[in-house]
Amino acid sequence: MNLNVSPLTLNLRTTFRVSHGASDRRENALVTLQHEGLTGYGEAAAVFYYGDTYESLSAALQSLPPLGDDPFALEEILNRLPPMSHAAQAAVDMALHDLWGKRLGQPLYRLLGLTPAPLPQTSFTIGIDTPEAMSARARETQYPIIKTKLDSQNPETQVAAIRAASSAVLRVDANAAWTPAQALDLIPRLAPYDLELIEQPLPAGDPEAYRWLKHELARRDVRVPIYIDESLQTSRDVARHAGAVDGVVVKLMKTGGLREALRAIHTARAHEMQVMLSCMIESSLGVTAAAHLAPLCDQLDLDGPLLIANDPFDGLRYDGANLSLPDRPGIGAALRL
């Protein structure tokens, strides 16, 4: 199998702000894996707060030893990969799964034993801005589910502005911006705005802080579910947070691809945790790959292609918040001509 790497420049429709920073463009990496006349595609998202750039991803991928000549040996190939960025590993994993499906002439969801419908609806993400701008964005989207990014400066004002503009199901994401004390102060004030869940209120790497927060919120009879995102990379992290949170956010770029994402989902189920399937800023290639796991999940946050203006792939279809998977072999994402 021959692996090649090229830039995948994604221009955002609007500046996207989270607590980690803001961006107008993302430079992802596109992997092509060729074998006997077929091409498997994979995408690595360059997430700046994980230290990834196109240059670092490309260097890691181009330095890989030969992957062999059997695209069906997925576990063996992935286990032989040297230590590398999870996003880079996800691109290889994705391309292998794409080749797998194309070799057998079947869409990936079918090879995983899943049915493509009905899928949960996806949320639409609103980045951090002034309360007035966030309110206007909520009013414009007309989506039934909104996820809004929050910072530590004026989160209650931001949530109040969005709730005044929309009756949509509302999820909030602090992207690890709050201390435990701030979270314990803010969450009871945000709960009356009828939140479906709060994502990653605390910094990553401290399951005991989440255990403490859950206990303290229960003492105050505050019942908003808490999910982790940045705290979760692999299935081991799911197990470490068992009993400390209500749900987990699974992304291929964190788990290193579909294989470990499946393990994370099954681990969460074993611990009676909810699962949200999400994405970074990715094209329809990366998001369609993730969406093949959607039948296993409770919530979806797969709006990446809706945030970019120059999506080079045709894959997952959107009808408002309703999603449908392509029935082409493999991932089913095709390069636009």
- Mean pLDDT for each 10-residue chunk of the chain (337 residues)? 96 73 84 97 91 95 95 95 96 98 98 93 93 94 93 93 96 96 97 98 96 97 97 97 98 98 98 97 97 98 93 95 96 93
Instruction: Note the pLDDT of residue 19.
Output: 58
Structure-token pair, residue 132: 């007035």
Of the CATH numbers 3.30.390.10, 3.30.505.50, 3.90.550.10, 1.10.10.10, which one belongs to the domain with range 2-109? 3.30.390.10
In sequence order, the 6+-apart residues with CB closer than 8 A to the CB of 252 are: 90, 93, 94, 258, 261, 279, 286, 289, 290
Of 30, 67, 33, whose CA–CA distance to 46 is shortest?
Answer: 30
Write the DSSP string, 150-216.
Answer: --SSSHHHHHHHHHHH--SEEEEE-TT---HHHHHHHHHHHGGGTEEEEE--S-SS-HHHHHHHHHH
Per-domain boundaries in the chain: 2-109, 111-335
Instruction: Note the pLDDT of residue 92.
Output: 98
Angle at the Cα of 258 from the Cα atoms of 256 and 259, rounded to 5 degrees: 85
Helix (H) or strand (E) holding 139: helix 131-141
Of the CATH numbers 3.40.228.10, 3.40.190.10, 3.40.50.720, 3.20.20.120, which one belongs to the domain with range 111-335? 3.20.20.120
